[in-house]
Structure 1
Amino acid sequence: MTTPEPILPLTGIRVITTGQILAAPFCSTLFAEFGAEVIKIEPPVTGESNRGSVSFAQDNRGQKAITLDITRPEGAAVFRRLADRADVLVDNNRPGALEKWGFAPDTLRETNPGLVTVRISGYGQTGPYKDRAGFDRVALAFAGITGLTGYPDRPPVRPAYFVADYGAGMFAAFGAMLALRARDQTGKGQDVDMALYEAVWRMSGTHIASYGLQGKDRERSGNYMPGVVPAEQFETSDGHFLVINATTPRAFSKLCEAIGQPELVHDPRFAPRTNLMQNHAAIHAILGEWVGQRPLAECQATLDQFGVPATKVYLMEDIVGDPHFADRHQVLSVESADYGHLLQPGVVPVLTATPGRVAHRAPLLGEHNEEILLGLLGMQPAELEGLKAKGLV
């Protein structure tokens, strides 16, 4: 007897999305992975500009797709019918685009009072910069992370991942869940206004507090984070890089034991803790010498034995071959229309009773036209054929 599949937590929620590129599709796919029906709306013929790319295949997995020209009156009327049947609308066009097309959220809520509208943009829907164009890298710079990343004698460096786009997608999904919860209490929908830069800014930690206290910016400092000691990456004798992060008194004590120098805990260079912070170069030099005399496997085994936080600096080949990633299903092989099966990140977060899943690959352009337009909206075949003839779908 087989165990029935659990009902996913967002089963019964319908999301429609006009989003493109990264942040909005990613936000929408998070919904799909936990059971929501997500309907992606794209322009006929061309689809969204990112279609055909590897990122499209990954960031739109689990969604359904229809084609619809929402900029023309007949297409706009169909869009409104979809909006009347939706719980959430996700959009990341420039501020004012929905209003230009006749879809101001408040007007959509005239016929669907509970609609939650998620609006993702570079700078938000308000403020003096709201009409500026914004992409991930611009948002990173505006939020301050670029200026702090890199070495002091070199230009700033961008992070290797799209932190703003994916961060905004996560915060936007979280905001939508809050709005849906509020709807449970009030029966009314609302807007979720998510700026790319604000996702990064919210993750900036205490940098602004330090600025407020000291009245000056922290300079770029490479891998060293002021006050976070010891924490650095060191090259092993067999040519790998190992990160050690033992920044609490207890972790530092364990680290000193692990490298066979327990007396360092009481060394005046490193005690009290203010001295340790001032002499970070000295402790890092000691650790670098210890790591440099040993292969990675020995270093990792020793540090694990003593409970010291440490790991190899992973590359993709390490991640794909790692048993922990595999055990937690964090490397998936997902079908795609253009590339065969693609390796992709797993579903996050992990829920123990109702875990998410990737239901299916990213959709083909207009793949679900008949299912949505004939099924959900109840169009007659002749009406759909008429829309096709006019180039509206």
Structure 2
Amino acid sequence: MVVIMHEEDVERGPLDGVRVVDLTTSLGAYTGRLLSDLGADVVRVDLDGDRLPRPGVFTEAGKARVTAGRAGLEDLLGTAQILLTSEGPAALRARDLHPEDVVRRHLGLVHVSVSPYGLTGPYADRPASDLTLLAAGGLLALAGDPDREPVRPWGEQSTVIAGAHAAVAALLALLTLEATGRGQVVDLSAQEAVAHSLENAVQCLDLEGVLRNRAGSGPLEAGTGLFRCADGWIYLVGGLGGRPLAWSAITEWLLDNGITEAEALRDERWGERSWRRSPDAATEFRSMFERFAVHRTKDELYEDGQRRGISIAPVATPADLLANPQLTERGFFREVTVDGRDLVFPGPPYRFAGSRVGPRSTPDRSGTDEGITA
């Protein structure tokens, strides 16, 4: 059973009273969605004559949608605290929307400019796509098998990464606006946002002189990685950073369940990092563990492993997540209406005391700028 939170009793969010004008393409649309989740009044404006690609339904939840001419847009900007755009500087200047010009006309406005490569530099107006941004940001160098071509992650990840970074930057600029009354330009490069999201790849080069490359999907160390079970897959962490961590607990787990060959895991060689990171060790451990796991479900393995202090997690399908006891008990999933469609959305990854945050239904407003008031 899925427990869905409805919006009838939604309390004011932390950004209640903040107006955001959203002129983004798909590259920056997630920024407005995140600000709407926090309670901002986000107005998606379709400018007369524009033919920009329309972002997807997921990023448009909670946004009012209007069509406006140039004069109507300027009136809206006069009532807003934040403007969102996501094109290069030449395209923005051609539409009289370059941040330098906008904040000069509206001194109390924060212009968050999400663009592929930032507002300055030799690549500022270079065309870009999710694929090229992931490559330029370094993520593709880490994704895929080492002896094959890079693999692009699913789902336009550069737009998610850039949108999340831009939302945080917008909140910081909003604090300055509230303290000083002065707007500013936030220049967000999607390429730099991707590079900032590579976990410790940059630090490995900077601090250890190690250039990380594609490692593929196989295990780097015996006891850690994906393992088959009766109804799918689980992820087990038997070692990390060369340390055996839960090795003794895993060994006892296998022995308690009739895998007598696991006695060999007590041998001194399994305490050596070089052996555990060898292909032979990974193959030997997998044979033992999957012989045990194949007769058990991922939930059974998860519960039993957790009781033993072992780091283990089920690999969840979408259906698994919708039925997850913890998520349903916490009312994580929300039912919202977007473009006349009732949809179930995941809730926010954070909570605020005294206010509801998360995806909201599209406001019922007029289709022109006359439906938006100060």
* Equivalent residue letter for 2:313: T
Cα deviation, residue 280, structure 1: 6.7
Q: CA 1:285/1:367 → structure 2, altered by over 3 Å: closer, same or farther?
A: farther
2:41 maps to 1:37 = yes
Secondary structure class of the residue paired with 1:97 = helix
Instruction: Give the equivalent residue in structure 2 for 1:171.
Output: 165
Normalised to the residue count of structure 1, the TM-score between the two structures is 0.79
Cα deviation, residue 93, structure 1: 2.1
Instruction: Give the equivalent residue in structure 1 for 2:342.
Output: 341
Instruction: Give the equivalent residue in structure 2 for 1:24.
Output: 28
Distance across 1 between alignment mates of 2:330 and 2:51: 34
Q: CA 1:83/1:331 → structure 2, altered by over 3 Å: closer, same or farther?
A: same
* Equivalent residue letter for 2:232: H
Work out the percentage of aligned pairs sharing the same amino acid. Answer: 25
Cα deviation, residue 270, structure 1: 3.3
Cα deviation, residue 157, structure 1: 1.2
Q: CA 1:109/1:151 → structure 2, altered by over 3 Å: closer, same or farther?
A: closer
Cα deviation, residue 240, structure 1: 1.4
* Equivalent residue letter for 1:344: F
Distance across 1 between alignment mates of 2:9 and 2:225: 48
Provide Cα deviations, 1:203-259, integer angstroms capped at 9, x if missing partner. 112223333567664342212475x774210112x2511111244554444434433
Instruction: Give the equivalent residue in structure 2 for 1:134.
Output: 128
8 Å CA contact 1:60, 1:362 repeated in 2: no
8 Å CA contact 1:66, 1:368 repeated in 2: yes
Instruction: Give the equivalent residue in structure 2 for 1:234.
Output: 227
8 Å CA contact 2:62, 2:338 repeated in 1: no
Aligned residues: 356
2:71 maps to 1:77 = yes
Q: CA 1:259/1:283 → structure 2, altered by over 3 Å: closer, same or farther?
A: farther
Distance across 1 between alignment mates of 2:335 and 2:64: 19
Instruction: Give the equivalent residue in structure 2 for 1:351.
Output: 352
What pairs with 1:36-115 in structure 2 (closer than 5 Å)? 36-44=40-48, 48-50=52-54, 56-68=56-68, 75-115=69-109
8 Å CA contact 2:89, 2:98 repeated in 1: no
8 Å CA contact 1:60, 1:363 repeated in 2: no
8 Å CA contact 1:65, 1:363 repeated in 2: no
Instruction: Give the equivalent residue in structure 1 for 2:174.
Output: 180
Distance across 2 between alignment mates of 1:6 and 1:341: 21
Distance across 2 between alignment mates of 1:105 and 1:266: 64
* Equivalent residue letter for 1:235: R
Secondary structure class of the residue paired with 2:284 = helix
Secondary structure class of the residue paired with 2:335 = strand
* Equivalent residue letter for 2:36: A
Normalised to the residue count of structure 2, the TM-score between the two structures is 0.83
8 Å CA contact 1:17, 1:41 repeated in 2: yes
Q: CA 1:183/1:41 → structure 2, altered by over 3 Å: closer, same or farther?
A: same
Secondary structure class of the residue paired with 1:269 = helix
Distance across 2 between alignment mates of 1:310 and 1:145: 26
Instruction: Give the equivalent residue in structure 2 for 1:317.
Output: 319
Distance across 1 between alignment mates of 2:143 and 2:267: 32
* Equivalent residue letter for 1:255: I
Q: CA 1:203/1:229 → structure 2, altered by over 3 Å: closer, same or farther?
A: farther
Distance across 2 between alignment mates of 1:350 and 1:96: 39
Distance across 2 between alignment mates of 1:193 and 1:156: 29
* Equivalent residue letter for 1:80: E
Secondary structure class of the residue paired with 1:242 = strand
Distance across 2 between alignment mates of 1:251 and 1:351: 35
Q: CA 1:240/1:4 → structure 2, altered by over 3 Å: closer, same or farther?
A: closer
Secondary structure class of the residue paired with 2:212 = coil
Secondary structure class of the residue paired with 2:270 = coil
Provide Cα deviations, 1:65-106, integer angstroms capped at 9, x if missing partner. 1112xxxxxx32332222122100000123233322223333
8 Å CA contact 1:94, 1:121 repeated in 2: yes
Secondary structure class of the residue paired with 1:259 = helix
Aligned counterpart for 1:244 among listed residues 230, 236, 245: 236
Instruction: Give the equivalent residue in structure 1 for 2:268.
Output: 268
Distance across 1 between alignment mates of 2:147 and 2:61: 42
Larger deviation, residues 164-173 vs 303-312: 303-312
Distance across 1 between alignment mates of 2:147 and 2:271: 31
Distance across 2 between alignment mates of 1:99 and 1:255: 61
Secondary structure class of the residue paired with 1:103 = coil
Secondary structure class of the residue paired with 2:28 = helix
Aligned counterpart for 1:220 among listed residues 194, 203, 214: 214
8 Å CA contact 2:64, 2:362 repeated in 1: no
Distance across 2 between alignment mates of 1:178 and 1:214: 33
Larger deviation, residues 120-129 vs 39-48: 39-48
Distance across 2 between alignment mates of 1:265 and 1:28: 52
Cα deviation, residue 27, structure 1: 0.6
8 Å CA contact 1:242, 1:310 repeated in 2: yes
Distance across 2 between alignment mates of 1:368 and 1:355: 29
Secondary structure class of the residue paired with 2:44 = strand
8 Å CA contact 2:236, 2:311 repeated in 1: yes
Structure 2, gaps ≥5 residues long: 1-7, 257-261
Larger deviation, residues 145-154 vs 290-299: 290-299
